Amino acid sequence: MRRPIIAGNWKMNMAAAQEAVALVTQLRASVNGVPVDVVVCPPFPWLASVAQSLSNSSIALGAQDLFWEPQGAFTGEVSPTMLAGVGCRYVIVGHSERRQLFGETDANVNKKLQAALRYGLTPIVCVGETLAQRERNETAAVVREQVRDGLASLSEQDLGKIVLAYEPVWAIGTGRTATPEQAQEVHALIRRLVQERWGGAAAQGIRVQYGGSVTAANALELLRQPDVDGALVGGASLKADAFAAIIQAAAQAKGVTA
C-alpha cells in the first residue's frame, strides 16, 4: 500500500508571513491524525515562520525549488543545505513553470534532484506535456523523455526516496483538469517506465501525484484511480478548508483511516 501524499504549492502567493502562518495554523487543526502525508511549499521568505508554526505537527515543510550546489557565488539561489537547515523535508523539482519561464531542462532537474537526495530532502519531480504536445499525440514520448533524462543515473535505492508528479501543463492553473481516465493512463505509463528501468519493486513503491487544477470537487475521482497516489495542488492549497477537503478525499479514495 502506497501512503497517499498531498502537497500544496503556494507559488509566489501569500503576501505576508502572517497569512502563511494563519493558513497552516488552520490546516494543522483540520488534518490532525489523517493518515495521509501532507506537505506545504511556501515561498522561500516564509519557510522559517511556517516551520515554526508546524513544529510538532505531522505536516511537512517543502520548498518550491533549489540549486544544486551547497554554497558559493550563485546570486539569488538557495541551496539544499539551507532548505534542510530551515526544516524542509521536501522540495519540488522541475515544475513546469520553472521549465517554461526559467529555462529549466531535464539535465538541471537531474542535478537538482541528485542534490536534494544528497542532503536528505525528498524531491517531488514534476513531468508533463503541453497542450500542443498532447494534441500532436506526443504525451507518452514527452513523459518518457522527462523520466529518462530527469531521473538519469538514479539507483533503485534513490528511486525509493523520490516522489513523481504528473502535471499536464494545460491543466495547471487553467481550471481544466485531466479526466480521471487521462490521468490514470499517464500514471500507469509512468509506473511502466519505472518498472522497465528500475524493476517491479521500485514501480510498485513509487508514489505518483497528479497535479493540474485539483479542487475539493474533483479530487475524489482523480484519487480513486489506482495509479494516482496523491496530488500536487496549486490554487486550492491557498485555502485551508479546500486543501483539507482534498486531503480528506485522498484518505477516502484510498480507504485509509487513522
List residues binding ligand PEP (CB under 6 A). 9, 11, 167, 172-173, 211-214, 232-236
Query: For this structure, is 69 an active site residue?
Result: no
Nearer to ligand PEP, 42 or 235 (CB): 235
Give the chain's length.
Answer: 258
Least distance to ligand PEP, CB of residue 72, Å? 29
Catalytic residue (choose from 19, 95, 97, 185) = 95
Distance from C-alpha of 83 to C-alpha of 87, rounded to nearest angstrom = 7
Q: Which residues contact 63 (CB under 8 A, 6 or more apart)?
A: 41, 44, 47, 78, 83, 88, 90, 91, 92
Q: At residue 147, what is the residue type?
A: V
Among all residues, whose Cβ is closest to ligand PEP?
234
Least distance to ligand PEP, CB of residue 81, Å? 25
Contact 103, 65 (CB under 8 A): no
Least distance to ligand PEP, CB of residue 138, Å? 20
Q: Long-range contacts made by residues 97-101, C-beta under 8 angstroms, separation at least 24?
A: 97/11, 97/172, 98/65, 100/169
Nearer to ligand PEP, 167 or 227 (CB): 167
Nearer to ligand PEP, 133 or 177 (CB): 177
Nearer to ligand PEP, 125 or 232 (CB): 232
Catalytic residue (choose from 97, 104, 129, 167) = 167
Query: For this structure, is 95 an active site residue?
Result: yes
Least distance to ligand PEP, CB of residue 218, Å? 10
* C-alpha grid cell, residue 17: 508571513
User: What are the φ and ψ backbone dihedral angles of 176, each rounded to 5 degrees?
Assistant: -100, 100
Active site residues: 95, 167
